Amino acid sequence: MRILITNDDGIHAPGLRALANVACRFGEVVVVAPDRERSACSHAMTMREPLRVNAVTYPGAKGYEVNGLPVDCVNVGLTIAFPGGCDLVLSGINNGPNLGFDITYSGTAAGAMEGTINGIRSIAVSMALLDYGQPIDYTLAEAWLGEHLGELVSHPLPPLSFWNVNVPNQEPVGYRYTTMGKRIYKDRVEMREDPWGRPYYWQGGTAVLTDHAPGTDVAAIMDGYVSVTPISLDWTDHASLQKLKS
Ligand code: MN
């Protein structure tokens, strides 16, 4: 299997290394990742500046760093490493959750989305650490993927769908196929003051997991399970469309 790996935490991220480590057991791996952290860049791409690519030494794989975003990395990676296409795009392992609405901001999910748009089976993987600042144990995701990556690759999915996988930061109880839940943040924007007394604003905020509805990604993580969500790039609201048509 020919596997292209990217992330949004940058080429030096331990999660990227963990993902490459487990992927090497499944085939030929090329890592193409941003040269620095680009979290929450969503599906942005670089168009008005050139992309520079440097080969880097990477354990067990060919590695390249790009002065761009995850989407750039997937497209550059396909161009330089797999011009004939590849079999799998992996993105992650993100150093935090991508649950519910997180995926609309996520550069990790965007890597998988770009793979999907290119017609390649794609998987976004995140460590769903809920207490920010705690150490992340990427070996938990490595172990789970080692057992289940094969079935995620071979499982039939519609062409516009990809997998969004979240792994809890403790030994998982098991895994669940889930729906995308809701994850709302409070105090999203903080006002602070610079040394000259001018206000500036910093976005972050604490997630308040309001939707524990059974079957959601959020509920699976709260219950200690790995969450596996099929996400579709068909954003059409088919139910509303049906009503409008009738
Ligand atoms: Mn990230």
Superfamily for domain range 2-183+213-245? Survival protein SurE-like phosphatase/nucleotidase (3.40.1210.10)
| Across 199-228, average pLDDT | 89
Spatial separation of the C-alpha atoms in residues 15 and 126, rounded to whole Å: 9
Q: Which candidate, 223, 229, 228, 61, places its Cα nearest to that of 148?
A: 228
CA dihedral angle for residue 109, residue 155, residue 32, residue 218, rounded to 10 degrees: 30
Spatial separation of the C-alpha atoms in residues 49 and 246, rounded to whole Å: 47
CA of 30 relative to ligand 1 center, distance in Å: 19
pLDDT, tens only, 110-156: 999 999 999 999 999 999 998 878 999 999 999 999 999 999 999 99
| Residue-range domain boundaries for the chain | 2-183+213-245
Q: What is the pTM of this model?
A: 0.96
Phi, psi angle pair for 189, to nearest 5°: -110, 125
pLDDT, tens only, 90-102: 999 999 999 999 9
Which residues surround the ion ligand 1 when the cut-off is CB under 5 Å?
Answer: 8-9, 39, 94
CA of 107 relative to ligand 1 center, distance in Å: 7
Numbers of helices and strands, H then E, in the chain: 7, 13
CA of 39 relative to ligand 1 center, distance in Å: 4
